[in-house]
Amino acid sequence: MTLLTVDRLGARHGLLQAVREVSFELAEGETVALIGANGAGKTTLLRTVAGAHPPSGGALRYDGADLAGTAAHQRVRRGIALVPEGRRLFPEMTVEENLRVAGHRGRPGRWTLETVLAAFPALRPLRGRLAATLSGGEQQATAIARALMTNPRLLLIDEVSLGLSPRAVDQVYASVTALREHGACLLLVEQDLARALSVADRVICMLEGRVVLDAPAAGLTRDEVVTAYFGGLARRP
């Protein structure tokens, strides 16, 4: 079943057209890796889906309903959660406090403080630590766990592994794999192509605000992705 439909979506930053008539669909339980060079429009696309950035055209439909005019906090209550680039935790609050704040804003569902800590066991001994004192990997895990506390059906994660050590990336991707097993629908922005292909059902590549590749991850070659990434001819959906 289709959970999200992006239909000729546009988004601007002043005079800059950051997202240009982007169209794709996400199915319930699907994991899609969104890739592309810096400035391709990936972050703006995620923020527009989450309601944190206004569209300049096109349409978004979530679970069959038009999202036009739906504020970001209302989208959270309907099951859309964004893990932003840079994590954006409350630095002077503890890990547990960061999680509980998100829980108050979300939907009822299977994800509670205890089930989230069970899914992210490395966070349990850190629950009393201030977010500002955490490592990059610990902060990213906390940010994903915080988003889970809203009980999302669609989880948007921007720059999954950016700035993390290899060990921290392993830990974060172990958590992503667990989320997939729980049936979450994931749209991940990722610069590490090998990591993206290891977890994704599908890969979407953006270039200068447009989708230039949309293909199943299985059987997709690195050459095809690199060609699309740098603006050569690519397979279209």
How far is residue 190's CA from residue 215's CA, in Å, rounded to a whole number? 16
Q: What pLDDT score does 12 carry?
A: 96
Instruction: Find the DSSP H helices in 82-221.
Output: 95-105, 113-119, 136-148, 166-181, 193-199
> What is the sign, positive or negative, of the torsion defined by CA atoms of 80, 86, 87, 88?
negative
Question: What is the radius of gyration, based on Cα positions, of the chain?
Answer: 17
**What does pTM read for this prediction?**
0.88
Q: What pLDDT score does 232 carry?
A: 62
Which domains are delineated in the chain? 2-229 (3.40.50.300)
Q: Is 209 helix (H, G, I), strand (E, B) or coil?
A: coil
How far is residue 115's CA from residue 148's CA, in Å, rounded to a whole number? 10
pLDDT average per 10 residues of sequence, the chain (237 residues): 96 96 96 93 97 97 95 94 85 94 81 88 93 89 89 90 76 77 86 84 95 92 86 53
How far is residue 156's CA from residue 135's CA, in Å, rounded to a whole number? 22
